[in-house]
């Protein structure tokens, strides 16, 4: 047999796991061909590779050694990253090999939160075996924990050991800063892939700062983390001894220039300090710092410095006071604004005045705290904004366009600029902005110019108050109302052009004109639903139309109902007296009004917003069970199909009858023709005889 004849494919059983083939597989003089899952390998010709034939066994060992080397390199690289200063908790799960110690798939460590120097920091440790460990065997899990980085003078020995845990025995600890945590299986089996909680280990950090602690399975029993040994590193930040805690301390900010502590200004808490760029004694806002211990008591005696650092526009003045007191800003540019300022606190609260430096733009104030151990913490930062003069005018919303007949205002409320109720709706909302797009208060208020003062007198605006619930947007936003003439009558029309006076005090920046009509008080009200029938719980749209005595749309902002509406069945989302007319109508928002949950007819009842509170009603129906309806439809469809099939059968029967009759008639004709042919044949024969 030639060598070429020996080049046959090896079976799948011989191909797999080539590094573990036995002598019989090595002795095979075959070729393994290349495919997507296996590498190309050629058998050596000549003597069979039996037992410890050097070439064959060398290839196997080389492959295994290479894979093991990769694992070791990965473990060492991961450890180097961990010891190099990663602040997050990291973990590497090596496969390990079963030798004298049991192998682990992973180590799980939960680090303590907000520990302080002089107080024990407890870590909770769990493990997951890579292979099942049988009770009563000599397999053990030699866990170790070592402090891999700590502040100078901060290393302290571990204290305590693993707490008593079922099926595991406690190990010992050392006084050298490293704990050797032997854990020997007790009376039960530890299943592979199942997490086992070993317990807790604690150490007492002597100083504040950052510590990294590595927990690992010392599988090689050489006292160091090496090879593919499984580990996890936890990094914690330790606070000053019984003192300042960065985790429990806090900062608050507001956009107020009053003496109130920022944290007490509930509506504006953590608002962005904002004001015009011009230097002024009035501050843009206040940042209040609360210095706390881990137990939320005053930590000022453990703090040597509170510092505020500005990046971008603005400057700061750090005030060692529980209340900010005076505005704390320089009144003119001759002073020297501080981009960084600090104090040694004498009480728990420190206040920081945020001031404008004469330039427009955004800024950031970063707060840092230094404790008595000399450790500096970044507590947080606050965004600030200093605006330029208003350059533009824009329309935000047009809410009302039907003004009062006989004179009056639409969109005006008790205190201009204050929106403190749902019924206080401005006719128009405008905004003025600086060149950077920040909403800023204009030097003069916008106003509305009428195209016909005999119909509309004009429009008036005031800066929005910034009400948290109903405000239009605060500084730079304007709420406006429209005033009609006493001579205005229902059906009259005019336009309003909203504009603002420019800095030259002569020209205006104007918007496109808005059309207005005149309407009277509500005289007639009609009600309509968007459909006659609904499924249970379906959303419904209710439209209430209001007209004045002449049939025109009633003026805007009137209550379309004089009482809470009701229904014959439970309907959620029924309108109340807060429903106001716009353009002669009111409609509920999408998905706010829902049909009853029971089938059958229902009615909605209303008392209109006219002077007589005229009663109105609208009816609807909730369809029956959708499943029953579908079943009925299916039954009807089946009946129709059956009728159609019967008709087709009848047609087919008739067609068959017609075909049979035609065939019968044809057969009769053929028979007659045959008889005629026979007669003719006989006659011809007689003639031939006579000849």
Summarize pLDDT for 342-372 with one digit per residue, the tens: 999 999 999 999 999 889 999 999 999 998 8
Burial class (CB in 10 A: 0-12, 13-18, 19+), 488: buried
How many C-beta neighbours within 10 Å does residue 545 have?
A: 18
Identify which has the larger pLDDT, 286 or 530.
530
Residues 461 and 603 occupy one common structural domain: no
Question: Residues 177, 99: one domain?
Answer: yes
614 or 41: which carries more pLDDT confidence?
Answer: 614
472 pLDDT above the threshold of 70 = yes
What was the pLDDT predicted at 229? 80
Region of poorest pLDDT, from 90-104, 175-189, 617-631: 90-104
Q: Which CATH number belongs to the domain containing residue 446 in this structure?
A: 2.60.40
584: CB partners within 8 A, 6+ apart:
402, 519, 545, 546, 547, 552, 553, 554
Distance between CA atoms of residues 355 and 274, nearest Å: 9
Query: How many other CB atoms are found less than 10 A from the CB of residue 560?
Result: 25
Residue 471 · residue 465 · CB < 8 Å: yes
CATH number where 541 lies: 2.60.40.1930
Domain C-terminal end among 358, 386, 414? 386
Domain enclosing residue 14, as ranges = 3-51
Q: Which of helix, strand or coil describes residue 494?
A: strand
What is the pTM for the complete model shown?
A: 0.53
Please give the pLDDT value at position 395: 97
pLDDT for 213-251, tens place per residue? 887 776 776 767 777 788 888 888 887 666 888 988 988
pLDDT at 216: 77
HSE on the CB side for 6, CA within 13 Å?
A: 12
Q: Which of 597, 624, 651 is the last residue of a domain?
A: 624
Residues 272 and 141 in one domain: no
Cβ burial, residue 332 (10 Å; 0-12/13-18/19+): exposed
Q: Is the pLDDT at 321 greater than 60, yes or no? A: yes
Nearest-5° Cα angle at 522, 519 to 528: 110
Residue 188 or residue 424, greater confidence: 424
DSSP E strand boundaries for 472-596: 477-484, 493-501, 508-510, 514-519, 524-529, 533-534, 542-547, 566-567, 585-587
The pLDDT of residue 675 is 80
- The one-character DSSP state at 555 is P
Which of 69-73, 191-195, 302-306, 319-323 is predicted most confidently?
302-306
Instruction: Give the ranges where 36-53 is alpha helix by DSSP (H).
Output: none
Task: Examine the pLDDT at 653 and tell me if it is beyond 70.
Answer: yes
Same-domain status, 486 and 421: yes
282 and 360 co-located in one domain: yes
Task: Write the pLDDT tens digit of every residue in 118-150.
Answer: 777 888 877 787 777 665 554 455 567 777 777
Q: What local confidence, expressed as pLDDT, does residue 159 receive?
A: 45
The answer to whether residue 82 sits within a structural domain is: no
Domain end (from 603, 624, 645): 624
For residue 653, the tally of other CB atoms under 10 A from its CB is 10
Q: Which of 436, 444, 433 is nearest to 393 (CA)?
A: 433
Contact between residue 459 and residue 447 where contact means Cβ atoms under 8 Å apart: yes
Q: Which of 68-82, 301-315, 652-666 has the highest average model confidence (pLDDT)?
A: 301-315
479 and 374 inside one domain:
no
Answer yes or no: is 79 within a domain: no
* Mean pLDDT of the 20-27 span: 38
- Domain membership of residue 552 (yes or no) is yes
- Calpha distance 79→75 (Å, rounded): 6
Do both 108 and 135 map to the same domain? yes
Does 287 lie in the same domain as 233?
A: no
Quick check: is 150 in a domain?
yes
pLDDT of residue 393: 96
Q: Pick 210 or 553 by higher pLDDT.
A: 553
C-alpha to C-alpha distance for 178 and 175, rounded to whole angstroms: 7
Best-predicted range by mean pLDDT (25-29, 180-184, 527-531, 635-639): 527-531
Which two tokens mark 237?
């930040």
Q: Compute the distance between CA of residue 338 and CA of residue 555 in angstroms, rounded to an integer.
A: 57
Helix (H), strand (E), coil (C) string for 305-340: EEEEEEEECCEEEEECCCCCCCCCCCCCCCCCCCCE
**Can you tell me the mean pLDDT for 552-579?**
95
* Residue 165 belongs to domain with CATH number: 2.60.40.10
Give me the DSSP letters along 139-153.
-EEEEEEEEEE--TT
CA angle 8, 10, 16 (to 5 degrees): 160
Lowest mean pLDDT across 180-184, 235-239, 405-409, 497-501: 180-184
Asked if residue 541 and residue 495 are part of one domain, the reply reads: no
Tally the domains of the chain.
5
Q: What is the mean pLDDT of the chain?
A: 76
For 455-468, how does the pLDDT look when each residue is reduced to its tens digit (9 = 90+)? Answer: 999 999 999 887 77
pLDDT score, position 552: 98
Does residue 424 form part of some domain? yes
pLDDT for position 368: 97
Residue 646: the pLDDT is 73
The torsion of the CA quartet 532, 534, 537, 541, rounded to 10 degrees, works out to -40
Confidence of residue 309 (pLDDT cuts 50, 70, 90): very high
With 60 as the cut, is the pLDDT of residue 161 above it? no
To the nearest whole percent, how much of the chain has pLDDT over 90?
Answer: 36
Cβ(302)–Cβ(243) under 8 Å?
yes
pLDDT given at position 131: 75
What is the distance between the alpha carbons of residues 276 and 256, in angstroms, rounded to a whole number? 13
Residue 685, in any domain of the structure: no
Same domain as 310, residue 211: no
Residue 637 lies in a domain: no
Tell me: do 527 and 493 sit in the same domain: no
Domain annotation covers residue 420 = yes
pLDDT in tens, 384-426: 989 999 989 999 999 999 999 999 999 876 455 566 677 789 9
Model pLDDT, residue 153: 67
- 637 Cβ contact list (under 8 Å, min separation 6): none
Question: What is the per-residue pLDDT for 691?
Answer: 60
In this structure, are 514 and 527 located in the same domain?
A: no
């Amino acid at each position: 047999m030639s060598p070429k004849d020996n080049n046959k494919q090896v079976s799948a059983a011989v191909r797999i796991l080539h590094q573990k083939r036995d002598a019989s597989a090595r002795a095979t003089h075959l070729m393994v061909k290349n495919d997507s899952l296996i590498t190309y390998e050629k058998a050596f010709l000549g003597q069979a590779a039996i037992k410890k034939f050097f070439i064959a066994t060398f290839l196997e060992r080389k492959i295994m050694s290479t894979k093991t080397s990769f694992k070791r390199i990965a473990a060492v690289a991961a450890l180097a990253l961990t010891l190099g200063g990663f602040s997050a908790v990291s973990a590497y799960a090596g496969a390990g090999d079963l030798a004298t110690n049991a192998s682990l798939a992973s180590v799980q460590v939960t680090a303590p939160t907000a520990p302080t120097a002089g107080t024990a920091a407890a870590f909770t440790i769990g493990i997951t075996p890579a292979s099942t460990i049988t009770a009563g065997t000599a397999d053990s899990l030699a866990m170790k924990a070592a402090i891999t980085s700590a502040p100078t003078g901060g290393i302290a020995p571990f204290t305590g050991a693993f707490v008593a845990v079922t099926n595991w025995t406690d190990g010992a600890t050392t006084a050298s800063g490293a704990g050797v945590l032997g854990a020997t299986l007790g009376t039960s089996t530890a299943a592979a892939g199942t997490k086992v909680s070993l317990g807790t280990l604690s150490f007492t950090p002597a100083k504040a700062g950052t510590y990294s602690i590595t927990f690992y399975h010392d599988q090689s029993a050489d006292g160091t983390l090496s090879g593919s040994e499984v580990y996890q590193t936890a990094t914690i930040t330790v606070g000053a001894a019984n003192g300042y805690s960065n985790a429990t301390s806090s900062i608050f900010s507001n956009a107020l220039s009053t003496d109130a502590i920022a944290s007490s200004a509930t509506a504006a808490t953590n608002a962005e300090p904002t004001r015009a760029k011009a230097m002024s004694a009035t501050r843009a806002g206040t940042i209040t710092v609360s210095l706390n211990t881990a137990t939320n008591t005053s930590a000022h005696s453990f703090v040597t410095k509170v510092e505020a650092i500005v990046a971008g526009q603005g400057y700061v003045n750090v005030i060692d006071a529980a209340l900010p007191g005076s505005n704390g800003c320089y009144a003119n540019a001759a002073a020297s604004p501080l981009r960084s300022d600090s104090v040694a606190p004498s009480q728990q609260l420190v206040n920081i005045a945020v001031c404008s430096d004469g330039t427009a733009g955004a800024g950031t104030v970063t707060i840092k705290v230094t404790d008595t151990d000399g450790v500096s913490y970044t507590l947080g930062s606050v965004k600030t904004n200093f605006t330029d003069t208003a350059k533009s005018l824009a329309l935000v919303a047009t809410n009302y366009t039907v003004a009062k007949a006989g004179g009056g205002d639409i969109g005006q409320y008790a205190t201009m600029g204050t929106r403190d109720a749902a019924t206080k709706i401005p006719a128009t909302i405008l905004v003025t902005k600086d060149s950077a797009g920040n909403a800023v208060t204009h030097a003069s208020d916008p106003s509305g110019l009428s195209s016909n003062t005999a119909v509309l007198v004009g429009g008036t605006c005031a800066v929005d108050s910034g009400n948290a619930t109903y405000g239009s947007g605060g500084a730079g936003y304007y709420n406006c109302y429209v005033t009609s003439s006493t001579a205005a009558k229902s059906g009259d029309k005019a336009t309003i052009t909203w504009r603002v006076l420019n800095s030259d005090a002569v020209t205006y920046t104007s918007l496109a004109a808005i059309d207005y009509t005149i309407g009277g008080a509500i005289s007639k009200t009609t009600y309509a639903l968007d459909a006659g029938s609904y499924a249970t719980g379906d959303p419904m749209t209710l439209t209430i139309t209001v007209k004045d005595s002449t049939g025109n749309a009633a003026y805007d902002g009137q209550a379309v109902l004089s009482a809470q509406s009701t229904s014959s069945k439970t309907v959620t989302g029924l309108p109340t007296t807060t429903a106001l007319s716009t353009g002669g109508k009111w409609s509920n928002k999408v998905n706010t009004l829902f049909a009853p949950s029971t089938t059958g007819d229902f009615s909605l009842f209303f008392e209109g917003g006219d002077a007589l509170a005229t009663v109105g009603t609208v009816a609807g129906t909730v369809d029956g069970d959708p499943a029953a309806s579908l079943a009925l439809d299916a039954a009807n469809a089946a009946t129709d199909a059956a009728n159609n099939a019967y008709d087709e059968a009848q047609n087919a029967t008739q067609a068959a009858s017609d075909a049979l009759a035609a065939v019968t008639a044809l057969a009769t004709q053929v028979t007659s023709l045959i008889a005629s042919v026979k007669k003719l044949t006989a006659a011809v024969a007689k003639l031939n005889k006579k000849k």
